[in-house]
Amino acid sequence: MPKFLSLSSVILLLITGPALAAPGDQPTPAPAKSAASDRNARPPSGLMRYDTNKDGVVDRAEWQAGQQARFKSLDVNGDGKLTQEELFARTPAIGTSVLPNDRQAQRQSNYFQLLDANKDGVVTLEEFMVQANRNFERCDVNKDGRIDTAECRSALQRTRAAR
């Protein structure tokens, strides 16, 4: 009987609890969030993370500063050179594996060899920036020295269609 009484007391309290609140106590509604405010609240990602002056485009100076900072963050040991392991340490493997599959490993190796122009087994900042500048040029379809997400996406789609 005491168990039944305590259970029924809890249920009664849950049902009548809101009615016992003071008459002026109204729950404060959460402010409505628009999709635009959600986008603005998140830090920029992809290409637009390099838009440091927040004008909606990435100019060549912003791109180069961003790529140099990226190189520095990848250079874990701070020796001014990237090994293949440093370059791809943050690249997630495909699926549930912690290691890249054969195709992904081959692509990584090919890309590293492309960056390593003098074939000494490491990529210097200079070598890294050569490819970064190629990427900027490829995305700058209208050749105005400024790129945005749509322009870069368009350039990449043209590149894929040409293959």
Residues of the chain short of pLDDT 70, as ranges, are: 1-41, 91-98, 163
Task: Specify the pLDDT at position 81.
Answer: 98
For the chain, what is the HEC assignment?
CHHHHHHHHHHHHHHHHHHHCCCCCCCCCCCCCCHHHHHHHCCCCHHHHHCCCCCCCEEHHHHHHHHHHHHHHHCCCCCCEECHHHHHCCCCCCCCCCCCCHHHHHHHHHHHHHHCCCCCCCEEHHHHHHHHHHHHHHHCCCCCCEECHHHHHHHHHHHHHHC
Quick: pLDDT tens for 109-129: 999 999 999 999 999 999 999
Domain at 51-163: CATH architecture? Orthogonal Bundle (1.10)
Indicate the domain borders of the chain: 51-163
